[in-house]
Amino acid sequence: MLLDLFRRISTRQILFAGCLLTLLCALFSQGVYHSDEHYQILEYAHMKLFGTPTMEHLAWEYPLQMRSGVQPFVAWCVGRGLLAAGIWSPWLMVRILQLLSGLLSVVVLCFFYRTVRRELDSEARRKWFLLTGLCLWFMAYLHVHFNAEMLAGNLLMLLAALTIRCQRPECRPDDPREFLRGVTLGVVAGALFIVRYQAGFALLGFGIWLLVFRRSWRLYAGLAAGVAVMLMVGLAADRWLYGEWTCTPWNYLCENILHARMDQFRHEPWWYYLTAPILDGGIFFGLLLLVATIVFFWRHPRHVVTWMLIPFLLVHFFLAHKEIRFFFPAVFFAPWFLVELFRGRGERFTRSGWQWALGVLAVMNLGAVVYNLTQTTPDISFYKVMCDYCRGKGDVVALNLAHETTYYSRLQNFSGEPRVTEARFYMPANLDNRHCATSEELAATARRLTAEGVQVVVLSEDPDLGESGSLPLRKVVWSPYPAWVMRYFNFNDWTRFAVRSKNIYEWETSAGSDAAAVPAEAVVSSENGSAGSGEAAAKSSVSESGAAE
Mean pLDDT over 520-527 rounds to: 39
Whether residue 370 sits in one domain with residue 382: no
SS3 of 39-59: the string is HHHHHHHHHHHHCCCCHHHCC
In which band, very low, low, confident or very high, does the pLDDT at 288 lie, cut at 50, 70 and 90? confident
Do 533 and 449 share a structural domain? yes
Please check the confidence at residue 546 and state whether its pLDDT lies above 80. no
329 and 307 fall within a common domain: yes
- Choose one of 374, 393, 427: the last residue of a domain: 374
Q: Classify strands 503-507 and 396-401 as parallel, antiparallel or unpaired.
A: unpaired
pLDDT for residue 515: 37
Q: Are residues 331 and 202 in the same domain?
A: yes
Give yes or no for a contact between 474 and 520, defined as CB atoms under 8 angstroms apart. Answer: yes
Q: Model confidence at 359, in pLDDT bands (50, 70, 90)?
A: confident
> Over the stretch 447-500, which tens digit does the pLDDT of each residue have?
999 999 999 999 999 988 878 777 899 999 898 888 878 788 888 878 877 788
Residues 363 and 460 in one domain: no
Confidence category of residue 3, pLDDT binned at 50, 70, 90: low
| 85-96 tens-digit pLDDT | 999 999 999 999
Q: CA separation (Å) from 1 to 355, 356, 441?
A: 8, 10, 67
Last residue of a domain, one of 374, 408, 425: 374
Q: CB-hemisphere CA count at 13 Å for 291?
A: 10
Total structural domains in the chain? Answer: 2
* pLDDT of res. 257: 78
Neighbour count for residue 4 (Cβ, 10 Å)? 8
Cα–Cα distance, 140 to 368 (Å, whole number): 10
On whether both 108 and 151 belong to a single domain, the answer is yes
Within this chain, do residues 142 and 219 fall inside the same structural domain, yes or no?
A: yes
Q: Are 68 and 248 in contact (CB under 8 A)?
A: yes
Is 213 within 8 Å of 251 (Cβ atoms)? no
Burial class (CB in 10 A: 0-12, 13-18, 19+), 230: buried
Mean pLDDT of the chain: 86
pLDDT digits (tens, 9 = 90+) for 45-54: 999 999 999 9
Q: Which helix (H) or strand (E) holds 434?
A: strand 431-436
Domain, as residue range, for 152: 2-374
Poorest-pLDDT segment among 48-52, 113-117, 174-178, 278-282: 278-282
Gap between the Cα atoms of 72 and 97, Å rounded: 11
Banded model confidence at residue 30, pLDDT cuts 50, 70, 90: confident
Predicted local distance difference test score (pLDDT) of residue 347: 55
Kindly tell me if the per-residue pLDDT of 80 is higher than 90: yes
Could you give the CA distance from residue 157 to residue 105 in angstroms, rounded to a whole number? 10
By CB atoms closer than 10 A (0-12, 13-18, 19+), residue 122 is exposed
Which of 343, 374, 405 is the last residue in one of the domains?
A: 374
Residue 350 pLDDT > 70, yes or no? no
**313 with 388, same domain?**
no
| Shared domain check, 410 and 282 | no
| Distances, alpha carbon 363 to alpha carbons 66, 347, 367, 370, in Å | 43, 22, 6, 11
Looking at the fold, whether 391 and 336 belong to one and the same domain comes out as no
Q: What percent of the chain shows pLDDT beyond 90?
A: 58
245/389 same-domain check: no
138, 76: one domain = yes
> Is 107 a residue whose pLDDT tops 90?
yes
In angstroms, the first-to-last Cα distance of the chain is: 41
Lowest mean pLDDT among 2-6, 85-89, 96-100, 104-108: 2-6
Instruction: Give me the phi and psi of 411, to 5 degrees please.
Output: -90, 125
